[in-house]
Structure 1
Amino acid sequence: MDACGEHRESTRLMVEKLSLSCDRLMSHLQLGCCPSHCATPLQGKKVLLHCITDPEQKPLQLTGHHGDITALVFGTGRNPLMLCSASADYVIVWDIEHCYRRTRDGVVASGRVIGTLLGKVVHLSFCPLDQRVSACTGDKVYILSSKMEDVLSVLAGHLAPLTAAEFSPWKTDILVSISEDRTFKVWCLKKDEIIYQSAVLSATPLLSVYFLEKSRHLLTGSADGQVWSFTFSEDHRCHLVTRLDLQKVLLRHQRQLETVAPQTAGVKGFTPDPVETEKPILRICAHHKQLEYQSLVWIGSSDGLYLLDLATSELLKALLLRDVPDFSITMAGSWAMSPGLDNTMAFVVTSLFEAQMSVLEVTLPGPDTMDDLRQHLEVLSVIPSAPLTAGSLLNAEFKKKDTKPSKKTGLDKSVVKEQPLVFHTQVKSSGYSQPSRRTIFSPKTNVQKMTPGTTKTNMKLGCFLNDYPGHTAAPSVPHTYLNTAKTPVYSAQYSGDGKQILCGLGDRSVLLYKSSLTGPSAVYTGHDKAVSSVAWSHSRRWWLSASADRTLRIWPTGGSEPVLTMGGDDKFIKPIQGAQFYYLDKFLLVASGSSLQLYLYHLDNTRDDIKRYQQRSTIKLTGSFKTESGTDITSVSAINDFYSYIVLMSGADRSIQVLDMNTGTMASQLPDAHSRAVHHIAQNKGSAFSSQTPDSYNLFLTSAVTDGVKLWDLRAHRCVRRYENHVNRCHPCTTAFSPCGRFIASGSEDNCAYIYDVHSCSYLHKLQRHSDTVLNVTFNPAKPELLTGTLDGRLSLFRPGNAANGVFSS
């Protein structure tokens, strides 16, 4: 959607339902809002109740306070609907239905006083059962009974005045308070004590706090536009999941719109203000309680509303107040939010500088509209849906040399001419007709699970292969440590059968280990600089190594010398950033500089006794692809375990490009995928031992320094989740999918590796006991094992929690 369309969409989605001129300024006051009503102060001491669902209904006035009302809040919506109002003299709870009934009978409506002379109350909240009310005044939180005048407890511990406090929706005895001291505290109401206290989060006070019930996350926002998302587990140990700067998120959103439609840049409403202003987080509210919207939240700031996807840290919609025609409020002082009775959201906003209040109704994007906001585009798939075209590069073959027919001799008559086993031309003989490649070479999808203990024999491997245990816990227990050399482990990869491990080191060598890391290693040398990448062939007969010395070598498994050496003759001007076998070992993919090259090759490991060092292997350039902007390629990835047309590559311009090798064109581009250049791409490749749904293979990960890890869906053309718990400030730490597709592993600079659940932004395990930065992580394709490699050359093997006692090697 371009900027002009975004402006029109803002005016269509947000409608002003009610506008009131007040007798005094109400900025920074907590106002009440629920799906059916909104409540505001009237003449300071009265409560004015408006029915949102029936604007024609006369507002209801509630009297009982002697001081100016400072906070209002509705109950959780249980029957009956409750409203709580607070001033310096009283805290009163009102039964809304009872008040309407008494007013219709001509009797003055009254409420129940539950607190007296508590001081200036700045924030109120009901517990999930509407049985208790928290009142923030000064540096204390008063817990009041909603049924009678009774102070249940007083919570004191903050070093500055409180700004808000909220009950946990799923555990009513837990309350979280925030303060101008820039920290939040978790309270246990059974013991009236602090069970968790955060560090100082910001340079400005915390203004808002909110619980996401579905994902069990705690959100808080500050006056300088920062939003933090923390896990809120059963032990109440809050771990940071993500941190957002609203100003930066908005600028990134604007750049994306300008990239889509640069001719519309400068349209009103999406041009950055000449003077950059902070965007305080005045209010946070969930977008909707449906499961598919659990990561979407609305942020109320001084200039408008923002719809954020916390799973991806992306802005989906910006509804600015200045974009609404004839709207009297341009700067907001406070917000109140509530989901509507249907597909709407109700918002109450007060002016920052004027005595003005408005009620807004925002139509929630439905599933189709939400897909449009996320640029839904289902046109690409890693698993091919069409056969190769006639002129496809993937059809390329080595041309056979023409040989002159030999002269016929009398002996030729006795030579028996080779014939197929079946001589009928209409009968297809096995081995003489070309089978369907998609049928034979395809990932295992939706395969019926074998019973425990059942094995299948693979005669080619000569061993028994068990299905990968898809329901096993993630590897988290250290099993084996091994010191290779005091040099970085820049790359590591298991063979397809999970029996061997290749490690490319910073001392220009490659080590080959058994997967158990036991026994001596085979050492391969020949490169002049650090080995940046290693890769196995699908057949496991060959493996390759690429180095910063601009050379690539292909080695036979078990051999001591390479059968093919590329580079060293100005073939590659810049270091090789990525190299691998592709299309079931038919091609080689090599990325160097701004060029991605596709090679056909023929390997011959025989040697001539006289010309021993002259290689007989041959290679042929089939195609070459340049990045659209001419920038250098930083990473490349493609699936080799089954036929796939898709190749992913990233550029130094922070973009991700999707190449379709069938057509030889760039199928899609994701500009500004990260704030820094992507240094690693990891696809969900599965393995020969596991089965996944076909759509799972369209997921891939990208890593960038200082910008975390993003999970992308190729068919949806968007980021679907973000992972930021690990530390990655300067080193190119890698990521990996588990063969079952349930877990993600990431290296980190805090001497740990992190295991994430694909469906959650928070980490499952933090794998410690590393001696330096974890540069590389890789999963065993046959077993639930994780291998990590560090900056100081240490390999570590992890297994699930029920694994046997570990064996540690030095």
Structure 2
Amino acid sequence: MAVCDASSSSTKVVAYSIIMHFVIRKIMIITLQPLHLCGHRKEVTALSLSHTDSPPLLCSAAEDYIIVWDLNAAQQYERQGQQIRGRTVSQLLGRPEYVCFSSDDAHVAVCTGKKQLMTLEGHDGIVLCAAYCPHFTSTLVSASEDRTFKIWDLSNQSLIYQSTIISSSPFISIAMNPMQPTFAVGTSDGILRIFDLSDGSNFCCLHSADVAKVLSRADKELDAPIITTQAPVKICSRPVLHPPPTEPTDPSSSESEAGYAIISLGYIQGRSTTVQTPTLPCPTFLNHDSSVVQEVLGEAPVIAVATSGALVLLDAFTMEFVSLASLQSPIEDQSGTQHTVDLAGNATFATGSDNQLFCIVSNLLCDQFNILRISAAENGSKNSIDELSVLSCAPLLEESPLRSQFNTKPKATPIKPFSAAKPAVMGGLSKKGKILDGQPVTFRSKVKSSGYTQAPRSIASHEFPMESSAPSLQKATLDISSKSTAVHSVEFSPDGQRLACAAADYSAQVFKMPLNGKGLAFVCHNGSVSSAKWSHCSQMMITSSEDKTARLWHVANFTEPLLTFRGVNNSREEKTNLLFSKAVRSAQFYYIDQFIILSVGKSFHLYKYHLDPNKSDIKSQTPLAYDLFATSAASDGIRLWDLRSNRCVRRYEGHLNRAHSCGFSFSPCGRFIATGSEDRSAYIFDIRSSGHLHKLTGHSDTVSDVAFHPLHAELVTATLNGKLRLFADHL
């Protein structure tokens, strides 16, 4: 069965085979008399329609002939009462399993059990599917029962790439992405994989998804089953080793059960991930455009997956569930009549006008087929959010902790370094150490001006090389200790003058840039140090540890901490202070050093302090960049989220992360994401695409964390054996 895939055509055509001849119908005029084309003596096993309608062509394949039909000429011959004839392009090739036209309709590829057309041989099993790349007209991808796929160059009649056996089941479907040089393949066990066809990508796997798991999650999200019992409930006390005898079932009454084999795939230009937001009252230096972010938030293609029991739409960038249509549930047509497919024997997709996708599904149990129309725009409307943005367009709520900086504050009193404070509220200390409500905790008697009376200095747009390439050349290597010590975290100070490292030997180290000597090491905790983060002013550093504490330091004195966080209330009175029950995994400054956030177990704690930040140094990024944030999880890659639509817009995979915590970092220009990996490498991704740009090898252990330099195109990597490596865009 085949369907015309010409978006410019006003009427769509569907063709399906009946033993030794086949029938042509128009989708929009499905009740018209069909066009019968006869020319084969054996069963027609594969059909394909051309991509254009000037003229519309149809290729039919059987064991005897491969015939190409001109449909306009066939209709004219039928009206004149003449015999309809096609052009035989080949014969006696064996049983064809698949046939398709090239993107320019100049060639036809036929997959048989013996060999491929144009003498392209090499598969050890029957070739089940093949497809031409719409971006490279001489490139053909074929998949076989031998569980491999091959990429051919037809202009040179040569093999470009041969995959290894990457699946336990054969590939049975394939689809090309018309928007980007990628292709998707589906297996008989329901695994969907997307591969990269662009130059220099080594045809790596970008994404993979298990259709069975996707359907299971979709059932829970869309329609959770409700168990109702109308008969009396039977409770059995027999042990599991001796189950009660089961009553014999009638085979004739058993219902058909759909599997998860991917019988067909198709692409459609999806919904736009951007959301119209109102004009935000942001500073003028934030009002420049960013083509990088616009590309990330542009239209995401949707991939349609047809199984024997359902049609599933997935986001091609993130493999997130978009929509689901069960073929075993009643489907209502335009006249109100309900239809069910039960089990799909075959399916094919075609894109139409107005961003619609047509799916022709044949019934495995009877001689009929159904035509389904899917619109990606309708499926994405439920996720839109109108007025959510990181840049505030409304006043803060009265109960918001961010309002604490606008409260009227009495004159602050200098305190000693061991002073305590109260989380998420304003709190100061008197001379006797008593906490006074409504007063900030300060470390200096004089507070510098905020700098808002003059134009802010933009670090990222003027000092960092915004158009530089990704740092991929190793520039320096350094051991933080004579013994092998794991490095859990690395971070550059905002001024780019220092590099902080959190180590497993209970210490933290601070290196001065350039990275060419030993740093200042100091024991800061009684357990492994999990993170070391800088303040916005580059004068403070906060560390967290497995000893269930976090400590605040000043760059002028690393011998004694300014403040130690031991409990929820962080009070010196043990009766009122609830100590942390778990390790402090992360600690960082927030809101231009106005707050400190601690991550403890499954919760985080927000503390309010006044740390005298230099607010004139504000990094300049496009407003849309503040709507994005990224998360990472073991065995799930890195996900980029859009806060306005509350959905994942990109997913970055390819690096190995199963057991250890591998950190990642954004480049100051906002174009790259770097991450560590357990395969002793670091990966750099372009934020606009899913494939990695560079794989930084040469490490001797798991890369636990990475950090971009704020002023130069440099990247530092840290490994679990205590080695630092510095990479740059040039030497």
TM class by smaller structure = 0.7 to 0.9
Q: CA deviation at 1:120?
A: 1.0
Q: 2:479 is matched with which residue: 461, 479, 483?
A: 483
Query: What's the secondary structure of 2:368's corresponding residue?
Result: strand
Alpha-carbon distance, 1:534 to partner: 1.0
2:160 to 189, 195, 218: 195
The partner residue of 2:112 within 137, 141, 145 is 137
Question: Paired residue for 2:362?
Answer: 350
Q: Which whole-Å CA distance do the structure 2 matches of 1:720 and 1:511 have between them? A: 37
**Post-superposition offset of 1:343:** 4.1
Give 2:342's aligned residue: 330
Q: Deviations over 1:605-637 (max 9, x none)?
A: xxxxxxxxxxxxxxxxxxxxxxxxxxxxxxxxx
Contact 2:201 2:691 in 1 (8 A): no
Alignment of 1:42-61 (within 5 A): 42=18, 44-61=19-36
Measure the CA separation in 1 of the matches of 2:109 and 2:457: 56
Q: For 1:186, which of 145, 151, 157 is the aligned residue?
A: 151
Matched with 1:340 is 352
Q: Distance in 2 between matches of 1:597 and 1:330?
A: 53
CA distance in 1, matches of 2:22, 2:257: 37
Q: Tell me the SS of whatever aligns to 1:140.
A: coil
Alignment of 1:598 onto 2:573: no
1:484-535 superposed Cα distances (whole Å, 9 cap, x missing partner)? 1311111111111111111010101110002321233111113111111111
The answer as to 2:525 corresponding to 1:527 is yes
Q: Which amino acid aligns with 1:94?
A: W
Cα gap change, 1:165 to 1:792, in 2 (>3 Å): same
Residue 357 (structure 1) shift: 2.6
Offset from partner CA, 1:434-453 (integer Å, 9 cap, x none): 999988898969x9x6xxxx
What TM-score does the superposition give when structure 1 sets the normalisation length? 0.72
SS in 2 for 1:313: coil
Within 5 Å, give how 1:258-337 maps onto structure 2.
278-288=259-269, 293-325=299-331, 326-337=338-349
* Correspondence 1:343-742 to 2 at 5 A: 343-352=355-364, 354-366=365-377, 369-373=378-382, 375-396=383-404, 400=410, 466-485=462-481, 486-561=484-559, 562-567=561-566, 571-601=579-609, 691-742=620-671
Cα–Cα, structure 1 residues 386 and 31, in superposed 2: closer, same or farther, change >3 Å? closer
What is the deviation of 1:393? 2.4
Aligned partner of 2:629: which letter?
F
SS in structure 1 at match of 2:339: coil
Per-residue deviation, 1:701 = 0.9
Do the aligned residues in 2 keep the contact of 1:749 with 1:772 (CA within 8 Å)? yes
3-state SS of the aligned residue for 2:328? helix
Deviation at 1:784, TM superposition (A): 1.4
Aligned-partner residue type, residue 285 of structure 1: G
Q: Taking structure 1 as reference, are residues 583 and 438 closer, same or farther at Cα in structure 2, changes over 3 Å only? A: farther
Q: In the TM superposition, what whole-angstrom CA distance separates every residue of 1:557-576 from its partner, at most 9, and x where no partner exists?
A: 12132222232866322211
Partner amino acid for 2:581?
Answer: I
Instruction: Work out the CA distance in 1 between the residues paired with 2:177 and 2:151.
Output: 15
- Residue aligning to 2:293: none
Shift of 1:56: 4.1
Tell me the distance in 1 between the aligned counterparts of 2:705 and 2:648.
Answer: 23
Please give the alpha-carbon distance, in whole angstroms, between the structure 1 residues aligned to 2:502 and 2:74.
76
1:94-173 → structure 2 map (5 Å cutoff): 94-142=69-117, 153-173=118-138
- Alpha-carbon separation, structure 2, partners of 1:358 and 1:573: 62
Amino acid at match of 1:284: L
- State whether residues 94 and 114 of structure 2, in contact with CA within 8 Å, keep that contact through their aligned partners in structure 1: no
For residues 696-750 of structure 1, the C-alpha deviation after alignment (integer angstroms, 9 at most, x for no partner) is 1121111111111111111111111111111101001111111111111111111
Counterpart of 2:684? 755
Name 2:67's counterpart in structure 1.
92
Give the distance between the partners of 1:789 and 1:66, measured in 2 at CA.
68
Shift of 1:689: 7.9
More displaced stretch, 594-603 vs 242-251: 594-603
For residue 15 of structure 1, what is the aligned residue in structure 2?
Answer: none
Match of 1:12 in 2: none
Partner of 1:680: none
Match of 1:670 in 2: none
| Matched residue type, 1:794 | K
Q: Report the Cα distance in structure 1 between the residues aligned to 2:530 and 2:77, rounded to whole angstroms.
A: 79
Structure 2's unaligned 5+ residue stretches are 7-11, 229-253, 273-297, 332-337, 414-447, 568-573
1:758 to 1:118, Cα distance in 2 relative to 1, 3 A: same
Name the counterpart of 2:188.
223
- Distance in 1, Cα, partners of 2:518 & 2:501: 14
Sort the Cα spacing of 1:641 and 1:41 in 2 relative to 1 into closer, same or farther, 3 A.
Answer: farther
The number of equivalent residue pairs is 624
- Please state whether the residue corresponding to 1:54 is helix, strand or coil: coil
Q: Following the alignment from structure 2 to structure 1, what is the Cα–Cα distance between the partners of residues 605 and 46?
A: 66
- Aligned-partner residue type, residue 331 of structure 1: L
Question: Partner of 2:33: helix, strand, or coil?
Answer: coil
Q: In the TM superposition, what whole-angstrom CA distance separates every residue of 1:211-236 from its partner, at most 9, and x where no partner exists?
A: 11322112111000001111112357
For the residues of structure 2 that align with 1:435 and 1:200, how far apart are their CA atoms?
Answer: 64
Q: Give the aligned residue type for 1:386.
A: A
Distance apart, 1:275 and its partner CA: 11
1:40 matches 2:16: yes
1:285: how far off? 0.7
**Structure 2: distance between partners of 1:131 and 1:495:** 59
Q: What one-letter code is carried by the residue in structure 1 that aligns with 2:343?
A: M
Q: Residue type matched to 1:311 in 2?
A: F
Identity %: 36
Please name the residue that 2:287 is paired with.
none
Instruction: State the alpha-carbon separation in 1 of the partners of residues 411 and 29 from structure 2.
Output: 86
The answer to whether the 8 Å contact 2:147/2:170 transfers is: yes
1:759-805 Cα shifts (integer Å, max 9, x gaps): 111111111111111110111111111111111111111111xx12x
TM-score normalised according to structure 2 size: 0.80
Residue 551 and residue 360 in structure 1: after superposition, are their counterparts in 2 closer, same or farther (change >3 A)?
A: same
User: Among 781, 793, 798, which residue is 2:727 paired with?
Assistant: 798
Rounded Cα–Cα distance in structure 1 between residues aligned with 2:614 and 2:75: 69
> Which residue of 2 is the match for residue 417 of structure 1?
none
Match of 1:280, as an amino acid?
A
Indicate the SS of the match to 1:156. Answer: coil
Q: Is the 8 A contact 1:752 1:767 kept in 2?
A: yes
Is the contact made by 2:533 and 2:543 (CA closer than 8 Å) also made in structure 1? yes
Which letter maps to 1:599? Y
Relative distance call for 1:716 and 1:342 in structure 2 (3 A) is closer
Deviation at 1:380, TM superposition (A): 3.3
SS in 2 for 1:201: coil
Change in 2 beyond 3 A, CA 1:307/1:527 = same
2:41·2:64 contact (CA, 8 Å) conserved in 1?
yes
Which of residues 692, 699, 703 in structure 2 aligns to 1:770?
699
Q: CA deviation at 1:303?
A: 0.5
